[in-house]
Amino acid sequence: MTAESLLGATATTIAAAVRGGEARASDLLEITLARIEAVNPSINAFNTLTKDRALAEARKVDERVASGEDPGPLAGVPFGVKNLYDVEGEVTLAGSIINRDNPPASRDATVVERLSSAGGVLVGLLNMDEYAYGFTTENSHYGATRNPHDLERSAGGSSGGSAAAVAAGLVPLALGTDTNGSIRVPASVCGIHGFKPTYGRLSRAGVFPFAASLDHTGPLARSTADLALAYDAMRGPDPRDPICRTEPSDALLQDPGRGTSALRIAITGGYFRETLEGQALDVLDTAAQALGARDVVEIPEAAKARATAFVITTIEGASVHLANLRSRKNDFDPLIRDRLIAGAMAPAAWYTAAQRFRRWYRDRVLALFEDCDVILAPATPCVPQPLWQEMMNLDGQELPVRPTMGRFTQPLTLIGLPIVVVPVPIPGQRHPIGLQIIAAPWREADALRAARALEEAGVAAVREPEISRAKA
Amino acid sequence: MNQRFDMDRYVALMAETLDIPVSEEERPGVILQMQRTADLATQVMEFEAPQDLEPAPVFKP
């Protein structure tokens, strides 16, 4: 097996080849960097490449293989991280120019350190909406990230650089963050898999905060096995993150993969179908049929839950930036500045009401899981929209593009449920739509099992964009 | 919530209270976002929460 044949391969395939001595991590890195140099100018996914570190990590993996040591489960797998994760020696820009004045990180974010320790090779830092406050990765400082399937359209956000890099085949694995949908929206519109485990499952230590009571970390990849591989390497308690769960978790790759016969699968109705475009509805129904989902459940007060997520996000987000809003307001991206100022001005009564509704809503939604294990819902209401477009038409309504892309993800992050997004192609369409596979808290294995079943049935599939077939 | 909320006056007062400078040119943008947030908050405030309802975040000493 040549390193060239591993370009565009899954992390699972790459790690097996490197561990088995069939390919060298250093060779794969060299062609990966060449591919990034060739393709990245078209999609603007990477902000920074970490070549020196990547070379050192790849050499270390090759030395371990050569000396018969275990190089780790992610041996030689190139990966990128959203520019919100601390990387030792790099300034965590968080998509801003304000953070350029911060010192370089003194150590990696916990999950970055864990991927590297597992043999992963960090190749660079990925573009995002400023401070993760957006669903489109339109960044006034660093430019928009373009959708690899259609360069005139958004890659989704705020982890748009992460999704575009994976969709374009530049890396098989990237980390994103998800506060309101920032892993699931870009995974959906870029046609790849995304995974947002339960709130508190994966450490957020060393990740620049957005809205602390909603912030999640997680991987994006081109197969469900790769999501599990990354999750297994990152999971586990972390005293640096007070939210991170201290109880041990099960490895997902070890899940026996019994299929879905033991799972009770339901589909969402009501709010999650009302504004869905016709073909997206077909996608949802096709997936439901493949999984044998019969019951329709209605997530109660989903619209109010979305409003609640907005209120909590804007107020918690503003609190992070209050000092800079006073002293250097004009250095913020104009796309987010006024929202942060409004959040700073919001009365406390709005916030406390939101956190109280959130408890009520959490209890009602968890009760749904007494009768089912997994709930299916669309991840986005439509295919990606043209970049810099302000308004869109959805089901006859004129709606602002940027917030609307998150209408199906926000009600779910609000209560921290574990969710896998899988890409479901629409016949005759260039863009797939992602399907959210939602499980009860701490039941990541249920969501992943259903995702794997859809992948094996061919209902969920990653399509290679033309751009990734370009010669490096 | 009071639907006759004077957003212009509220933004001006809060800008002064929080010491966030908002120029005349910037004020319409901030008022627009404040109005959007208020509209969403109205939905949240309509919820009649029982008095003994515990807020969502849990603090662990």
Residue of A nearest to B48 (CA): A357
Judged by CB atoms closer than 8 Å, whether chains meet at A341 and B41 is answered as no
pLDDT at A272: 92
Q: What is the pLDDT of residues A28-53, one digit of tens each?
A: 999 999 999 999 999 999 999 999 99
Number of separate domains in chain B:
1
* Dihedral sign computed on CA atoms, order A239, A244, A246, A249: negative
For chain A, the residues whose C-beta falls within 8 A of a C-beta of chain B are 213, 242, 301, 303-304, 307-308, 310-311, 314, 322, 325-326, 329, 337-339, 341-346, 349-350, 352-360, 362, 415
DSSP string computed for A50-80: -HHHHHHHHHHHHHHHHTT----TTTT-EEE
In chain A, the percentage of residues whose pLDDT exceeds 70 is 98
Please, are residues A271 and A299 in contact by the beta-carbon 8 Å criterion?
Answer: yes
Average pLDDT of the segment spanning A247-256: 81
Q: What is the pLDDT of residues A287-320, one digit of tens each?
A: 999 999 989 999 999 999 999 999 999 999 999 9
pLDDT at B22: 95
pLDDT at residue A376 above 90?
Answer: yes
Q: What is the pLDDT of residues A321-366, one digit of tens each?
A: 999 999 999 999 999 999 999 999 999 999 999 999 999 999 999 9
Average pLDDT of the segment spanning A399-427: 95
The model carries a pTM of 0.97
- Say if residue A203 is preceded by a cis peptide, omega within 30 of 0: no
pLDDT at A278: 74
pLDDT at residue A470 above 80?
Answer: no
Rg for chain B, CA atoms, rounded = 16
Judged by CB atoms closer than 8 Å, whether chains meet at B30 and A342 is answered as yes
- Max mean pLDDT among A155-164, A264-273, A400-409 falls in A155-164
Confidence of residue A258 (pLDDT cuts 50, 70, 90): low
Residues of A in contact with B49 (CB under 8 A): 353, 356-357, 360
pLDDT at residue A76 above 50?
Answer: yes
Confidence of residue B3 (pLDDT cuts 50, 70, 90): low
Judged by CB atoms closer than 8 Å, whether chains meet at A345 and B55 is answered as no
Residues of A in contact with B21 (CB under 8 A): 326, 329
pLDDT at A256: 56
Place of tokens 């957006």: A134
pLDDT at A472: 45
Average pLDDT of the segment spanning A93-113: 98
| A276/A25: higher pLDDT | A25
Q: Is A26 a catalytic residue?
A: no
Closest CB to B20: pick one of A326, A346, A415: A326
What CATH architecture applies to the domain A4-469?
Alpha-Beta Complex (3.90)
Place of tokens 């807020």: B55
**Cα of B48 to nearest chain A Cα, Å:** 9
Average pLDDT of the segment spanning A367-388: 95
pLDDT at A283: 80
Q: Is A159 a catalytic residue?
A: no
pLDDT at A397: 87
Where in chain A are the domains?
4-469
Q: Is A60 a catalytic residue?
A: no
Structural domain that includes position B10: 1-61
Average pLDDT of the segment spanning A171-200: 98
Lowest mean pLDDT among A110-114, A165-169, A219-223, B48-52: B48-52
